[in-house]
Amino acid sequence: VELVESGGGLVQPGGSLQLSCVTSGFRFEVYSIGWFRQAPGKERERIACISHNDPSPYTADSVKDRFTVSRDNLGKTVYLVMNNLKGEDTAVYYCATGGTVTAGRPCASASIDEYNYWGQGTQVTVSS
């Protein structure tokens, strides 16, 4: 199982970024993928997740209306489009999945402990 994030970088407040999570080594259609972030000194938080053919993916209240999660099932890739970025969005962003994080349940119902496959993370820094 492998997940590889990309697309992070330095952006000014109000700017946008698109993160990608390319996956391999498992049946992509069976599992949900979550996006998490961790800022220095803070706990890792889930900000979005999406299942196969999910008409209503989950986004956390802290990023709702600014972040959008989507997936390309053919390319086995999950995207996170981040608009109107703020300083508090500065963090390392990770995508993850797990053996029990399956498409047959709401992706937000899985606890963070159930995510046992993680990418290496990509740094997002929002600063002027």
Q: Identify the residue whose tokens are 């989507």.
A: 70
Check residue 103 and give its pLDDT: 87
The tens-digit pLDDT sequence of the chain (128 residues) is 999 999 999 999 999 999 999 999 999 999 999 999 999 999 999 999 999 877 789 999 999 999 999 999 999 999 999 999 999 999 999 999 998 998 888 899 999 999 999 999 999 999 99
Check residue 104 and give its pLDDT: 85
Check residue 52 and give its pLDDT: 84
Check residue 18 and give its pLDDT: 98
Collect all residues with Cβ–Cβ distance below 8 Å to 22 and sequence separation of at least 6: 3, 4, 6, 75, 76, 77
Check residue 116 and give its pLDDT: 95
